[in-house]
Chains A and B, each alone.
Chain A
Amino acid sequence: MNSPVPVLSLAGVHKHFGGIQALRGVDLDLYGGKVVALVGENGAGKSTAVKIMTGVYRPDAGQVQVAGTPVELRSTQDAWRYGIAAVYQETVMFDELSVAENIFMGHLVTRRNKLLDFPTMKRQARGILASLEADLGVDTLLGALSVAQKQLVAIARALSHDARVLIMDEATAALSSREVEDLYRIIRRLTSTGTAILFISHKLDEIFAIADRYTVFRDGSSVGHGAMADVDEDRLVQLMVGRTITEIFPKTTVKLGEPLLEVRDLGNGTEFADISFSLHRGEVLGFYGLVGAGRTELMETIFGLERATHGTATMGGQAWGSSPREAIERGLVLVPEDRQRNGTILELSIRENVTLPSLSRLARGSWVDTAAEAALARQIVDRLSIKCQSLEQAVSELSGGNQQKAVLGKWLAMQPKIIILDEPTKGIDIGSKAAVHAFIGELVAEGVSVLLVSSELPEVMGISDRIVVMHKGRLVRVFERADFDAGAIVRAAVGAGLSSSESVYAELASAT
């Protein structure tokens, strides 16, 4: 190590929420000019550690040290004073305010007479943005920017505190691979000026691409750290889950049946166009593409949440209107990407959640048969082995994995013919991923067909029978299982004419 004293460390930090022990004595060191990757499964305590370093939470026990000296961070402002700033996964910013105001919100610059000093703020904002090579007007309303541009503003905001320590908590989650490349460049520039970076990501390829050192959290404890050069993916995964993953993608081979769903020339005018494919009974049809290729929008249209402007989607020759109700009645269901927001109703009980779409079957007229309802709920909970105290427990009290099972269970109760899974393993830990993949195998074995939207190439290649690749709202190519080739799929996804070797390389890295 060229800087012997870490600029920021956590030493033996404990933190609990209610009865949950989020951190049980973690250690973490950040060094000037180095990128430290923090990895761990969901719930390992990464976000809690971040919030302790940024003064949002205070530790129950243990110390936060800045350059070896214990400090007490009572608020975000305190953390800023020590040059610690964070870029969060969700862009926590203000759409109705200008870029400059967003950068300085919380520490707006005032003149001696207490009035805001807009010229200074704009000048400084311009300077920071220029150093990030971000071509953004400082007067632009934030709401008018793209996700990637907002991320740049968030970084600019962190830098406006003269950050010596920059924490990036899943900052790449919403970025395309090209935008991730830009982010790497910014990170390298920052480290070259001596900034310490804490980089948190679920994507191992990103960590190997950018980090100098790593620290692994498991169940609220730090279980390993060292230089990236001394570790490989298998070792990191082993540290994270406490065991080695032998078989991640068990592909259940199922004989394909007749076509179930026919999509012809489907388009909605702005987000996707000319999409045609058919889905067979028992098939897993993967949809691969960059984030923002229009896959989610396509699926929501097929499900009836949005209206198509042209083209058709039919099952057994029959189309359905733009209503999820009709799609569900025909046996087509969708498990959304944002499960907390769109998948469950956290405040309601497990019973009420899992039977929600099935109510019309359980009711005479509108009158709900409560005995049949309870029986169905019990059946689902047993089949998916959802861990709960009772059927009447609120879903919000369940763990993330069990919440996820509740979402799936809700749709299984409908005995669907087709399930659309939108990024089913995004943001979940490796252990749960394997469970989801096994579950998909079970479904197809029962003759259910799956439309699988995923941005993880190994996953798509591992469990799909065919892969549809989309680019900028259009279907580029369909790969048969025999022709699966990581390079070809990625090239199709980034656009045939495009030969940005760097981003192809980044995608390839995740494929191998």
Chain B
Amino acid sequence: MQSLLRRRETALALIVAVLLGAIAVRAPVFLAASNLDGLLNDGAILAIMALAQMLALLTRGIDLSIAANMALTGMLAALLSKAHPDLWVGLTIALSLVLGLVLGAFNAALIAWLTVPPIVVTLGTMSIYRGLTFLVSGGAWVNAHELGERFVAFPNQRLAGLTHNVWLALLVIAVLVLFLHHLRKGRELNALGGNPAAARYVGIDAARVQLLVYLTTGALAGLSGYLWVARYAVAYTETALGFEMQSIAACVIGGVSIAGGRGTVLGCLLGTAFLVIIFNALPIIDVSPFWQMAIAGAAILGAVIVNSQTESRPRGKLILQSAVTPAASRAP
């Protein structure tokens, strides 16, 4: 089974490796430990959000509201820190998770219980959460000096050489691998996205799976909202603007199918790595950062075109016993 999937991911891993190599030839400093560390740190938040997005895509859904959720949660966390600079970081994280979960619950209820299409629901909540971010902040920024010292420091503090940021991403990865591959609900989630009608026949409750998915994307967006605001030490209305598209892009590049049922954690992470490397490499190899967006767009297009071409090949429809060449068949 996995040979085909594995091939897709090996190909992507090779591309990422070649990309790294090419950049390293141009600018060896890119592979320096400090730079790679920065890369990991930058990639951590995108990885968390891409994995959350993958859950939605696997069930044939989508979550466009995660970036707005990050902005709102991040802003509230920042305002909290401004009011209580000495608040324990663990509590901040817990509150961010809960707040994100609540915002996700709104999506989840509409999608699972009212069966409103996910793209419409999350398009709507994206708009609502972004607007609320403006309302709660009055349009003002919360700047570095207004934030609590520990609030800002936590994501960049290190444990065994890696930042907390990276550790949190690793934790999310581990939980999702366990969930998607080794727990019943996880396999049912895959099955549901692959063939919803068949899932009903084996008694999989679509609404419950969807509830779980959008609660999870919400909670993870909440966590990422705090991480983002702390890492960049600023909260404003446009926090993480367009990040929902980046998360989808990472998934799509990583071979996650928008039609549901197909996608792996590894592929998703490779897609994330690809984007993060490109975004970070440009200034180092003296390309204007203004090229970043166009290159990302071209990469996404390239990836989806390659994916669609390999997916749409008809399989097993060889009726003729021997492959007939036109020349041979013309003979009577």
Contact = CB atoms under 8 A, between A and B. Distances in A.
Direct chain A–B contact by Cβ atoms under 8 Å: yes
Interface of A: 56, 75-77, 88, 92-98, 101, 105-108, 110, 114-116, 139-141, 143-146, 265, 267, 269-274, 292-294, 297, 309-310, 472-474
Given A95-B195, A472-B321, 15 more contacts: A75-B203, A76-B203, A94-B191, A94-B194, A94-B195, A96-B194, A105-B202, A108-B184, A108-B188, A265-B329, A272-B319, A273-B320, A309-B326, A310-B329, A473-B319
Given A270-B323, A294-B319, A101 B203 contact: no
Interface residues of B, number: 35
A-B pairs, 5 with minimum CB distance: A106-B202, A92-B198, A76-B203, A473-B319, A96-B194
- The A interface, classified by DSSP as helix, strand, loop or mixed, is loop
Given A93-B198, A95-B195, A473-B319, A116 B182 contact: yes
A97 B187 contact: yes
Interface in B37-65: none
A293 B191 contact: no
Contacts of A110: 184
Contacts of B182: 115-116
A409 B202 CA distance: 39
B7 interface: no
A108 B195 contact: no
Contacts of B317: 270-271
Given A96-B262, A97-B190, A297 B326 contact: no
A472 B320 contact: yes
Nearest to B178: A115
A300 to B, nearest CB: 12
Contacts of A56: 201
Contacts of B321: 472-473
23 contacts: A77-B203, A88-B201, A92-B201, A93-B195, A94-B191, A94-B199, A96-B190, A96-B194, A97-B194, A98-B1, A101-B187, A105-B188, A108-B184, A116-B181, A116-B184, A146-B316, A267-B326, A267-B329, A271-B317, A271-B318, A271-B319, A273-B324, A297-B319
B5 to A, nearest CB: 8
Nearest to B197: A92
A495 B48 CA distance: 58
B204 interface: yes
Nearest to A91: B198
B170 interface: no
B145 interface: no
Given A96-B190, A297-B319, A472-B321, A141 B330 contact: no
Nearest to A292: B319
Contacts of B255: none
Given A75-B203, A94-B191, A95-B194, A310 B330 contact: yes
Given A116-B182, A146-B316, A472-B321, A106 B194 contact: no
Nearest to A75: B203
A108 B329 contact: no
A476 B323 CA distance: 18
Contacts of A472: 319-321
Given A105-B187, A105-B191, A310-B329, A474 B198 contact: no
A98 B187 CA distance: 11
Residue of B2, B178, B187, B188 most packed against chain A (CB within 10 A): B187
Contacts of B198: 92-94
B4 interface: yes
A265 B318 CA distance: 18
A273 B329 contact: yes
B183 interface: yes
Nearest to B325: A269
B324 A269 contact: yes
Contacts of B183: 114-116
B315 A144 contact: yes
B155 interface: no
Nearest to B257: A96
A278 to B, nearest CB: 16
Contacts of B316: 144-146
Contacts of B4: 141
Contacts of B329: 265, 267, 273-274, 310
Contacts of B197: 92
Contacts of A75: 203
B313 to A, nearest CB: 12
Contacts of A267: 324, 326, 329
Contacts of B222: none
B267 interface: no
Given A88-B201, A97-B190, A114-B183, A270 B318 contact: yes
Interface string B194-218: 1101110111100000000000000
B148 interface: no
Nearest to A118: B182
B1 A141 contact: yes
A143 B203 CA distance: 21
A160 to B, nearest CB: 11
A194 B198 CA distance: 28
B261 interface: yes
Nearest to B186: A116
A478 B183 CA distance: 58
Nearest to A146: B316
Interface in B274-332: 315-321, 323-324, 326, 329-330
A115 B202 CA distance: 20
Given A96-B262, A144-B315, A274-B329, A76 B323 contact: no
Contacts of A96: 190, 194, 261-262
Contacts of B194: 94-97
Contacts of A146: 316
A265 B328 CA distance: 12
B319 A76 contact: no
Residue of A108, A114, A146, A272 most packed against chain B (CB within 10 A): A108
A110 B203 CA distance: 17
